[in-house]
Amino acid sequence: MKRIVVYFLAFSIVFAAMVGACYLINLFVGLVFHQSWFAGWREYVVIGFAGAMAGTFGPVLFALIEKRFKK
């Protein structure tokens, strides 16, 4: 149970960081170039979810694959 809570916290932190980074990049691009890269909030959520999945579970998956090939 403790491991699930840790994974959820890590996922939430990475998700928030990805969404925030995308928002700030889009805000900067909008101010400088007067255009928007994202159409709505749904795109922020999708990119944040994809980044959080890769950032949270990517190293775990890598460790499992590396462990399998070492045997």
- Over residues 25-67, the pLDDT tens digits come to 888 988 888 888 888 888 889 999 999 998 888 888 888 888 8
What's the whole-number mean pLDDT along residues 1-14?
85
pLDDT at 39: 82
pLDDT at 16: 92
Q: Which two tokens stand for residue 46?
A: 């999708």
pLDDT at 9: 87
User: What string of DSSP letters covers 7-34?
Assistant: HHHHHHHHHHHHHHHHHHHHHHHHHHHS
pLDDT at 38: 82
pLDDT at 17: 92
State the Cα–Cα distance between residues 55 and 59, nearest whole angstrom. 7
pTM for the model = 0.76
